[in-house]
C-alpha cells in the first residue's frame, strides 16, 4: 500500500498579504462583512479574488473557523477553491479562485429578459447547470458535508461565456454530517424560498440540499420560485405544505421528464427524496445535459505512469502545484477530467478512467489498473480533481521558474530559503498520523543532496527536473 498524504494546502500564511499578492485598488464587491478585491500572485501572476473580512464583524469566531476548515478541504471543479488565508490585527483575507461571470441569480434574470416568453433557460442549459450543481452536492455529501444554504446567489459563473462553469461558494452554514448515520441536524438554517420543510421542523439530514436544488431547477426553467409570498412568513407557510404547480402558461412546452426531475427533488418526505448522486442518473439529465467536449490525450497513460514513478516529495509538490496554477494553464486537463468523469460526481474511479481510455483508443499498458490506483495519493478510494491534474501535468507546465518558486515558498514558511523537517511536516500534517515523522524524514533525505538536514531551492529544482 503506497504512503498517502493529505491535500489540504489552504493553510494560514505566516506572511503579509501584500508580500505575496499585488492587491487591485478597485473593489469587486462590498458587504457588511468587508469587501472583495482582485489580487495577482507576485510569483505566478495568477489572478485571484481576495475576500477581506473585518474581524470585529465576525459574530461567531468558532463558526468562521469551521467555515474556513471545511472550505479548505474541498477539491471539486464546481466548488470555488480556497487557496490561502492571511490575517492581520484587523482583518482575515481569504484568497480564492476568481470568478468573473457574476451570480447564477443574475444570469437567470438576464436570460429571462432575453426571451419573449419571459422564461429562463432552455431545458438543455438547465440540465447542464443542474449536472454541475448536483455533482458538487454529491461530492459534498460523499465527503460528509452539507451546505445548508443552496440558492442561486451562492453559485458564481466562472466567466461571462454562455457555457461557463458554475462554482459553489459560501460555506458559512456548512456542517460536517454523515449521511445515513441516523443523526439529525436541528439548527434552522437557509433562505426562505429554498429551505426544506424538514429544516423548518428542526429535524433534517443532507437531503435538505437536494430540496434546495429542486427549487433551483424550477427557477432555471421558468424564472420564478415554486414557493412564494409577499413576506417570508407566507413563503414558509407554502414550503411547509409543499404544494407547488406547473402552470400551463409557463410550463406547457416543458417536458414531462423535466417536471418529474423537479418533483422528485421536492418530495415532501426526505427519506423518499433521491440522493444527489442518484439524480445525476435521471433520464432528463442523461437526455438533455450538454456533453463535455474535452479530448482524452493518447499519452494519458504514460503521463500517469511517470507520476506514479516519481518520489513522494515530487508527488506532493505536483499536487500543490496543481491546486495553484492559473485556470487557463490547465484548461485542457480540466476538460479531460470532465470528459473522464462519466457520472459527473467530481471524482474518478478506476473503471471510469479505463472505459474512457478504451473509448478514445488511448495506449494502455498491461498494468493500467495499478497505474490508475496509484494516482489516489490521499487514500480516499477515488481520484480527486487535483490528483488527476497533478498526475497529468507536463514538465512545460510545472518547470516554469515562477511556478517552482511559488511552490517552494509554500513549504518555506519562515522564508529563510530552505525547507526544514518541521516545515515539511507542517505541510503534511504529520502530527495527525496520516504521515509519520519517520516518513517525513525519509522524504527530506531523498532530496537533501548535501545532507545538511534541509532542502535548498537548488535541491528542490533538481528534484522537480529529474526524469521519473
Catalytic residues: 149
Using CA atoms, how far residue 140 sits from 7, 26, 75, 214, 386, in Å, is 16, 33, 10, 17, 16
CA distance linking residue 83 with residue 9, whole number of Å: 7
Cβ atoms of 113 and 146 closer than 8 Å: no
CA distance linking residue 12 with residue 93, whole number of Å: 10
Cβ atoms of 426 and 442 closer than 8 Å: no
Which grid coordinates belong to 231? 413576506
CA distance linking residue 232 with residue 411, whole number of Å: 49
Backbone angles phi and psi of 227, in degrees to 5: -120, 125
Q: Across the strands, what pairs with 176?
A: 145
Amino acid at each position: 500500500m503506497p504512503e498517502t498524504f493529505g491535500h489540504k494546502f489552504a493553510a494560514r500564511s505566516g506572511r503579509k498579504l501584500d508580500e505575496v499578492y499585488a492587491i487591485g485598488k478597485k473593489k469587486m464587491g462590498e458587504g457588511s462583512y468587508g469587501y472583495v478585491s482582485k489580487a495577482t500572485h507576485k510569483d505566478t501572476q495568477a489572478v485571484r479574488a481576495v475576500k477581506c473580512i473585518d474581524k470585529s464583524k465576525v459574530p461567531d469566531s468558532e463558526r468562521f473557523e469551521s467555515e474556513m476548515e471545511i472550505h479548505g478541504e474541498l477539491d471539486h471543479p464546481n466548488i470555488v477553491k480556497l487557496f490561502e488565508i492571511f490575517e492581520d490585527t484587523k482583518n482575515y483575507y481569504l484568497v480564492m479562485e476568481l470568478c468573473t461571470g457574476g451570480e447564477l441569480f443574475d444570469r437567470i434574470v438576464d436570460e429571462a429578459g432575453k426571451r419573449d416568453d419571459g422564461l429562463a433557460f432552455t431545458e438543455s442549459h438547465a440540465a447542464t447547470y443542474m449536472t454541475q450543481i448536483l455533482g458538487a452536492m454529491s461530492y459534498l455529501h460523499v465527503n460528509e458535508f452539507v451546505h445548508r444554504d443552496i440558492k442561486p446567489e451562492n453559485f458564481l459563473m466562472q466567466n461571462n461565456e454562455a457555457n461557463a462553469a458554475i462554482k459553489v461558494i459560501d460555506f458559512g452554514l456548512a456542517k460536517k454530517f454523515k449521511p445515513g448515520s441516523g443523526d439529525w441536524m436541528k439548527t434552522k438554517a437557509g433562505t426562505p424560498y429554498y429551505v426544506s420543510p424538514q429544516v423548518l421542523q428542526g429535524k433534517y439530514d443532507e437531503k435538505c440540499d437536494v430540496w434546495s436544488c429542486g427549487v433551483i431547477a424550477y427557477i432555471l426553467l421558468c424564472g420564478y420560485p415554486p414557493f412564494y409570498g409577499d413576506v417570508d412568513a407566507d413563503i414558509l407557510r407554502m414550503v411547509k405544505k409543499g404544494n407547488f404547480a406547473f402552470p400551463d402558461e409557463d410550463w406547457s412546452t416543458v417536458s414531462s421528464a423535466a417536471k418529474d426531475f423537479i418533483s422528485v427533488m421536492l418530495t415532501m418526505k426526505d427519506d423518499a427524496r433521491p440522493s444527489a448522486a442518484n439524480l445525476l442518473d435521471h433520464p432528463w439529465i442523461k437526455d438533455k445535459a450538454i456533453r463535455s467536449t474535452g479530448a482524452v490525450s493518447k499519452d494519458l497513460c504514460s503521463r500517469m505512469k511517470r507520476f506514479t514513478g516519481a518520489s513522494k516529495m515530487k508527488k506532493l509538490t505536483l499536487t500543490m502545484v496543481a491546486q495553484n496554477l492559473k485556470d487557463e494553464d490547465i484548461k485542457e486537463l480540466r476538460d479531460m477530467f470532465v470528459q473522464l468523469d462519466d457520472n459527473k460526481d467530481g471524482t474518478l474511479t478506476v473503471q471510469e478512467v479505463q472505459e474512457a481510455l478504451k473509448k478514445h483508443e488511448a495506449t494502455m499498458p498491461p498494468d493500467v489498473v495499478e497505474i490508475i490506483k496509484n494516482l489516489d495519493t490521499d487514500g480516499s478510494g477515488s481520484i480527486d480533481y487535483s490528483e488527476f491534474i497533478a498526475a497529468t501535468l507536463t514538465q512545460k507546465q510545472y518547470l516554469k521558474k515562477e511556478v517552482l518558486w511559488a511552490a517552494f515558498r509554500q513549504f518555506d514558511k519562515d522564508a529563510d530559503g530552505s525547507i526544514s523537517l518541521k516545515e515539511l511536516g507542517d505541510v503534511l500534517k504529520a502530527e495527525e498520523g496520516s504521515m509519520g515523522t519517520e516518513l517525513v524524514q525519509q522524504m527530506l533525505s531523498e532530496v537533501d543532496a548535501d545532507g545538511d538536514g534541509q532542502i535548498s531551492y537548488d535541491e528542490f529544482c533538481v528534484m522537480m527536473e529529474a526524469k521519473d
